[in-house]
Amino acid sequence: MLEIDELSVSYGAVRALDGVGITVERGGITAVLGANGAGKTTLLRTISGLQPARAGRISWDGAELTGRAPDRIARGGVAHVPEGGGVITELTVDENLRLGALWRRDRADRAAARKEVYELFPPLEERSAKPASTLSGGERQMLAIGRALMSRPGLLLLDEPSLGLAPLITARIMGILRDLRASTGLTVVLVEQNAHSALSIADRGYVLALGKVVAVDTAAELLADDGLRHAYLGF
């Protein structure tokens, strides 16, 4: 379980997160929604150890993450796909994937993880020797997710995977995430401005506004709440 309690994060005088509490059950998909600047990216960066917390606690699987270095958090099974994916366009698809498991010692294990990723995303296997710069936006997002999966994480943090993608491609990526959760029991935190897509696969959702949680409910209830949708979710 991911437990975030009273988390506050500031950039100088800007309070990006203010007493945020979030609980994510193992094997669940939780959507974190909200407008530009609500604090969504900051939340993921703080879970990953890339941004220090000013106050509060974060734990995953009973282990305290707050104050730990990002590499230790990653080794503890937390993988982060940043906004835009962070794919290295000069490297091939295969090289990008290998980067995701550099620190895993067991070669057979790395090869098995790569095989699984290619099974999950066949377009990546077809283009494995091509530079990542030749991929479409959707394929780059697949590569970014695939690279994160190379470490066989227990917790996957995804920052706006639908950004800039056509609706059909977004739906395909959401479908893959849903299947992945079903087949591996992966726990997913999905940050999205595209609330409708995210709620279509999430169990639960949190809505952030100006660094605070303003709503938390099942995905079905959030989708059905017209007032909330109009006020915060923009659809």
Give contact residues for ligand ATP (rule: CB under 6 A): 11, 14, 16, 34, 36-42, 193
Smallest gap from residue 26 Cβ to ligand ATP (A): 25
80 versus 114: smaller Cβ distance to ligand ATP: 80
Smallest gap from residue 120 Cβ to ligand ATP (A): 26
Give the separation between CA 180 and CA 184, rounded to whole angstroms. 6
Half-sphere exposure of 37 (CA within 13 A, CB side): 3
56 versus 154: smaller Cβ distance to ligand ATP: 56
42 versus 66: smaller Cβ distance to ligand ATP: 42
34 versus 153: smaller Cβ distance to ligand ATP: 34
- Own/partner long-range contacts of 133-139 (Cβ < 8 Å, ≥24 apart): 133/89, 133/90, 135/87, 135/93, 136/169, 137/164, 137/165, 137/169, 138/165, 138/166, 138/169, 138/172, 138/173
39 versus 85: smaller Cβ distance to ligand ATP: 39
Order of strands across the sheet with 2-11? Answer: 14-24, 2-11, 55-60, 63-64
34 versus 138: smaller Cβ distance to ligand ATP: 34
Give the separation between CA 24 and CA 16, rounded to whole angstroms. 21
Q: What does 20-57 look like in DSSP terms, one character per residue? A: EEEEE-TT-EEEEE-STTSSHHHHHHHHTTSS--SEEE
Smallest gap from residue 113 Cβ to ligand ATP (A): 29
Q: Are strands 55-60 and 63-64 parallel, antiparallel or unpaired?
A: antiparallel
Q: Dig out the tokens for 37 from the structure.
A: 């600047």
